[in-house]
């Protein structure tokens, strides 16, 4: 197991999470301007879950950078 390659994988996943979060936010904002506020609410909830995932990925990346390369 190589921490360098694992860091690359985490970086890719983090970028994908960021992109999905941006797309979800845009969609939620669109629905926030319609009578479908329940849809917007669910999408904003999903956005918060992605923010939590992003913080977890950041912590995992920080921990991994402190490990010696295996």
CA distance 48 to 60: 19
What confidence tier does 6 reach under pLDDT thresholds 50, 70, 90?
A: very high
Write down the pLDDT at residue 50. 98
Please compute Rg for the chain using Cα positions.
Answer: 16
Please compute, for residue 5, the number of CA atoms within 13 A of its CA located in the half-sphere on the CB side: 3
With beta carbons less than 8 A apart as the criterion, state whether 69 and 61 touch. Answer: no
The residues spanned by each domain of the chain are 3-63
**In Å, how far are 19, 23, 50, 51, 68 from 10, measured between CA atoms?**
14, 20, 15, 15, 17
| pLDDT 10s digits, 19-69 | 999 999 999 999 999 888 899 999 999 999 999 999 999 999 999 999 887
């Amino acid at each position: 197991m190589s921490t360098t390659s694992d860091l690359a994988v985490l970086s890719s996943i983090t970028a994908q999470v960021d992109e999905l979060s941006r797309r979800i936010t845009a969609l939620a904002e669109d629905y926030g301007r319609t009578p479908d506020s329940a849809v917007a609410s669910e999408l904003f909830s999903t956005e918060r879950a992605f923010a939590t995932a992003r913080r977890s990925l950041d912590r995992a990346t920080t921990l991994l950078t402190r490990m010696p390369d295996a």
